[in-house]
Structure 1
Amino acid sequence: METTRFETFFDAILAIIITVLVLKIPQPASPTLEAFLHLNPIYIAYLISFLVLYNIWYANHNLFQVVDTIDNTALWIYGLMTFVISLLPYFTIWLANNVHSIPPETMFGLIFIITHILNTLATRAIYRSNPYNKQLHELNFNSYYMNLPTIVLIIGFILTYTIFVPGIYICCLLSVVLWILLGRLLRRHAGGN
């Protein structure tokens, strides 16, 4: 399949998910700064989810600039990833309303781990189906450093299940920031944008 056609489809899905995500944010109970600040767990959860979705879009945009076609394996993996990230608005609000509860923390963290794994698998499938694309291999999306965000998330699970219930929530934020920074550094090192 041509990447331009797929990229348009995937961009539309991400835009819809981000729209649904922002529509789930409630208004403050009163028009005061205190009421606004009372909702900060919701704003932070939204920020984490938005950054993940934006980073997926940005990474795929850069990837599809150097790849003309993708195979069925990559399409199926992207389909699974689309299903997983479509659940993000539900689990983001569940977590935001229950930051100190283990089940929402767990589901929020699992969504991010599964998304990261599927994104990595999709990228590797694209690499395998384009073995002679020099531009693609110069981007070095396959770097082992890209596994660091998953390690941070695993640390969050350990924290949540041992000493600090919001551990996954905090580590999701750290993980997404690390994911963005590593992606930028690896692209800069490869001479990309």
Structure 2
Amino acid sequence: MPKNRLEAFTDGVIAIIITVMVLELTPPDGGSFSALWSLRYTFVIYLVSFLTLAVYWNNHHHLFQIVKSINGRVLWSNILFLLVISMFPFVTAWVGEHHIDSYAPEMTYGAVVLVTNIMFYFLIRSLIKASGTNSEINKLLGRGYNKPFISIAGNIVAVFFALVWPPLTIIIDSLLLLLWVIPERRIELHVARRNKEVPK
């Protein structure tokens, strides 16, 4: 089946999630810069969540550049991926409200990041299975592709570091995000080569 509707649906859901996060931002109680400064942690976690969603969207877009068709398994894998990232507005607001006084918000935030990465990995595996062993995606992201495992392992560590100092969870997950800021270079190079081979 064609992939266009899945991509359009994913784009729309992520856009809505980001919009909901923006709407969760409330103005300061007073009209001074000191009142605005009191919301600094709320803005920091909003920025972290916004960048996290942007990185997921960017990698999702690159992933589907090397996919020609999908099946029902891929559709459900993508739905589960979207289900988890739809929790970002909730956990972002919770961390913004209770950034230091309790470990539960940061631990929950870390768990959402962890499960999102697991769902993204399952999406990759579903696409490989749907495309076949000789497909572009299997050759590029099949055996030997370890970046998801590094991220997932780091996310697990980050969740439990909330018990040591809650902000450490956010810090570790943000550092792990650097692995994905630049989407898979092998995909970009492959798509560039493929486009050159297509006659104008």
- TM-score over 0.5 for the alignment? yes
Q: Which position in structure 2 is the counterpart of 1:82?
A: 82
Pick aligned residue for 1:150 from 139, 152, 165 = 152
Residues 54-86 of structure 1 deviation map (CA, whole Å, 9 limit, x = unaligned) = 122111211222212211111111111222211
Letter in 2 for 1:15: A
Matched residue, 2:176: 175
Larger Rg: 2
Residue 44 of structure 2 corresponds to 44
- Would the alpha carbon gap of residues 141 and 187 (structure 1) be closer, same or farther in structure 2, given more than 3 Å must change? farther
Structure 2 vs 1, CA of residues 51 and 141 (structure 1 numbering), >3 Å: closer, same or farther? farther
Q: Give the TM-score normalised by structure 2.
A: 0.83
Closer/same/farther in 2, CA of residues 83 and 131 from structure 1, 3 Å limit:
same
More off after superposition, 16-25 vs 41-50 = 41-50
Q: Distance in 1 between matches of 2:90 and 2:53?
A: 14
Q: Which amino acid aligns with 1:52?
A: T
Query: Counterpart amino acid of 1:18?
Result: I
Q: What is the TM-score normalised by the length of structure 1?
A: 0.86
Q: Conserved in 2, the CA contact under 8 Å of 1:95 and 1:104?
A: yes
Map 1:108-147 → 2, pairs under 5 A? 108-131=109-132, 134-140=135-141, 143-147=145-149
Partner residue in 1 for 2:165:
164
Check conservation: 1:48, 1:172, Cα contact below 8 A: no
1:73 is the counterpart of 2:73? yes
Give structure 1 stretches of 5+ with no counterpart.
none
**Aligned 8 A contact 2:70 2:130 in 1:** yes
Equivalent-residue separation in structure 2 for 1:192 and 1:36 (angstroms): 45
The 5 Å alignment of 1:2-13 reads: 2-13=2-13
Instruction: Report the alpha carbon displacement of residue 152 of structure 1 after superposing the two structures with TM.
Output: 2.5
- Is contact 2:111-2:159 (8 Å) kept? no
Query: Judging changes above 3 Å, is the alpha-carbon distance between structure 1 residues 12 and 34 closer, same or farther for their aligned structure 2 residues?
Result: same
What do residues 24-71 of structure 1 show as CA deviations (whole Å, max 9, x unaligned)?
011133344333332221112112221222122111211222212211
Indicate the residue corresponding to 2:15 in structure 1. 15
Residue 70 of structure 2 aligns to a residue whose secondary structure is coil
Q: Is the 8 A contact 1:127 1:136 kept in 2?
A: yes
CA RMSD of aligned residues (A): 2.2
Do structure 1's residue 56 and structure 2's residue 53 form an aligned pair? no
Pair 1:88–1:29, CA change in 2 (3 A): same
Distance 1:16 1:117, change over 3 A: same
> CA contact under 8 A between 2:65 and 2:191: conserved in structure 1?
no
Q: Is the CA contact 2:70–2:127 (under 8 Å) kept in the aligned structure 1?
A: yes
- Residues 31 and 185 (structure 1), Cα distance of their counterparts in 2 relative to 1, 3 Å cut: farther
